[in-house]
Amino acid sequence: MKRKSIFVPGWLVAGLWFGLSVGFPLAQAAQSGVPGSAALETLVADVLTGNPELGFYRAEIRAAQGGHRTAGTRANPSLSVMGGRRSVTAGGLSAEGVAWSVSAQQTFEWPGRIALRKAIANRDLALAELGLEQFRAALEARARSVVYRVLGAQEKETAAMEVAGRFQELREVLVQRDPAGLTPRLETRIIEATELTMRRKATEARLALQAALLELNQLRGRPWSEPMKVEWVGLTFAPVPDTDALLSAARTNNFELRMRQVELEQQGFRVSLAKKNGFPSVTVGPYFSNEGGGGREQQIGIGVSFPLPLWNRNKGGMETAEARRQQAEVSMFIAQRTVERQIVQQALTYQTKLSEMGNWRPESVDEFREAAALADRHYRLGAVPVATYVELQKQYLEAVEALLDTRYEALEAGQQIEVLTGLQLHMVHTETPKTASTP
């Protein structure tokens, strides 16, 4: 009995292979428990608690606390013990005996040195605490920016894939028709080339999305491969406050200026300490000695020793400390001017982006999307030329990108103003509506 050979079409084999290669990873992802979507504030709180770099600043605070404890500790006393044999010879007579001595000494520094070292250590502790506060503020702003980058990349990819899908469907229809003539053939090439361009935009948006997700997982201290989905959030922007009020708040609350002020105070204490170091420390302690040999001789008393400041009065240290203090003054002045420039620049950027978004109508993107879909239907019917069709698809995608980029730039400027001023101005509000069809 002959076996019948079964012919399996190539397209069926390819379909089965694709289903197995895609279906198994999807099933594994479903079984692994992919987490649901996370809200913006939840992700920001996750970053502020799980970021591994926070441990560096907390360790810096502990190091400053240890330095403060060391600065207020006096030097340990010293104990000296000497022993030997004593021999006495006088008038032909000789005697021998044991000689030994014991002394304890304590060094007392010039008054004010310990207090100055403690003041310097206090400023180190204040700098460490300010560094942690500054990092947390910058980290929160960065987390919000990265989350919105994720959302923006998702919107861009969706719009680009939508437009690319239209061109692909249209190209497949035109190829099946096998149009004759030069104009239909050129239109087909235009459609095919535009499809390639749209798919490239979608690929770029997908890469930007993956990069943003990787950065977000890094900020959260999570593995890079951990899957995540971000809930859509809407942004509303408040008017920019008065520039003079922002500058006044920055002079008081800006982290960089506060750190420069602490450093300036610290350098002032270092100058005073350098002057104190020009005076000698005094070492005081009791001693007791016992000598035998032809009798017994004992001594008890108090010894005092201190270096004579003849050649080294710490003038070099005082000059160095004074120069460092002058550098701290210059750094304070430069930091203040830099912060003022940054605040004015960010305020102008925020206001400009706000004015730019004010020219948009809320329904503009929806109307562009409807016009692109309408052009697709009418081009198939021959009522719309290819130039109008292609231009509408491109303009719809560019409009989505322009609005998303403008909102992101306004968000960045608003957050930078809050970081620079050290205030919670609530210039950017987030909202999560139930349905959000537009970016």
Which tens digit of pLDDT belongs to each residue from 386-432? Answer: 888 888 888 889 988 999 999 999 999 999 999 999 888 777 777 65
Please name the helix (run of DSSP H) or strand (run of DSSP E) that holds residue 297, with its range, or none: strand 296-305
Instruction: Evaluate whether residue 4 is within a structural domain.
Output: no
Is 55 in the same domain as 119?
Answer: yes
Rounded Cα distance, 416 and 410, in Å? 10
Is 357 in the same domain as 270?
Answer: yes
Interior/surface letters 177-215, b for 16+ CB within 10 angstroms, e for the rest: eeeeeeeeeebbebbeebbebbbebbeebbebbeebbeb
Of the two residues 86 and 293, the one the predictor is more confident about is 86
Instruction: Evaluate whether residue 362 is within a structural domain.
Output: yes
Q: Is the pLDDT reported for residue 16 higher than 60? A: no
Is 189 in the same domain as 267?
Answer: yes
Please name the helix (run of DSSP H) or strand (run of DSSP E) that holds residue 97, with its range, or none: strand 93-108
pLDDT recorded at residue 76: 87
Q: Is 60 exposed, middle or buried (0-12, 13-18, 19+ CB in 10 A)?
A: middle
Bridge pairing between strands 296-305 and 229-230: unpaired
Q: Is the pLDDT reported for residue 376 higher than 50? A: yes
Is 100 in the same domain as 148?
Answer: no
The answer to whether 406 and 399 are in contact (CB under 8 A) is: no
The domain of 388 spans: 35-74+109-278+313-431
Instruction: Evaluate whether residue 23 is within a structural domain.
Output: no
Instruction: Evaluate whether residue 299 is within a structural domain.
Output: yes
> Which tokens belong to 396?
């719809």
Q: What whole-number percentage of the chain has pLDDT above 90?
A: 36
Where are the alpha helices (H) located in 221-314, listed in sequence order?
243-253, 255-276
Is 114 in the same domain as 103?
Answer: no
The answer to whether 137 and 255 are in contact (CB under 8 A) is: yes
Question: Taking residues 362-378, what's their average pLDDT?
Answer: 83
pLDDT in tens, 337-358: 999 999 999 999 999 999 998 8
Label residue 18 by pLDDT band (50, 70, 90).
Answer: very low
Is 425 in the same domain as 300?
Answer: no
Nearest CA to 44 among 216, 183, 169, 222? 216
310: DSSP letter:
S
Q: Look at residues 266, 296, 312 and tell me which one is the last residue of a structural domain.
A: 312
> For position 178, which CATH number holds?
1.20.1600.10
Q: Is 263 exposed, middle or buried (0-12, 13-18, 19+ CB in 10 A)?
A: buried
Instruction: Evaluate whether residue 287 is within a structural domain.
Output: yes
Rounded Cα distance, 371 and 224, in Å? 40
Instruction: Evaluate whether residue 1 is within a structural domain.
Output: no
Is 307 in the same domain as 318?
Answer: no
Label residue 177 by pLDDT band (50, 70, 90).
Answer: low
Is 50 in the same domain as 134?
Answer: yes
Is 287 in the same domain as 218?
Answer: no
- Range with lowest mean pLDDT among 166-170, 264-268, 399-403: 166-170
Instruction: Evaluate whether residue 56 is within a structural domain.
Output: yes
Rounded Cα distance, 207 and 212, in Å? 9
Is 145 in the same domain as 188?
Answer: yes
- Bridge partners (DSSP) listed for residue 103: 80, 287
pTM score of the predicted model: 0.77
Label residue 29 by pLDDT band (50, 70, 90).
Answer: very low
Number of structural domains found in the chain: 2
Q: Which residue type sits at 249?
A: A
Instruction: Evaluate whether residue 3 is within a structural domain.
Output: no
Nearest CA to 99 among 294, 341, 358, 312? 294
pLDDT recorded at residue 71: 87
Of the two residues 421 and 30, the one the predictor is more confident about is 421
Is 272 in the same domain as 286?
Answer: no
Rounded Cα distance, 158 and 404, in Å? 13
Q: Which residues contact 190 (CB under 8 A, 6 or more apart)?
A: 386, 390
Is 192 in the same domain as 242?
Answer: yes
pLDDT in tens, 77-119: 888 888 887 777 766 656 777 888 888 888 888 888 888 889 9
Label residue 36 by pLDDT band (50, 70, 90).
Answer: low
The answer to whether 439 and 155 are in contact (CB under 8 A) is: yes
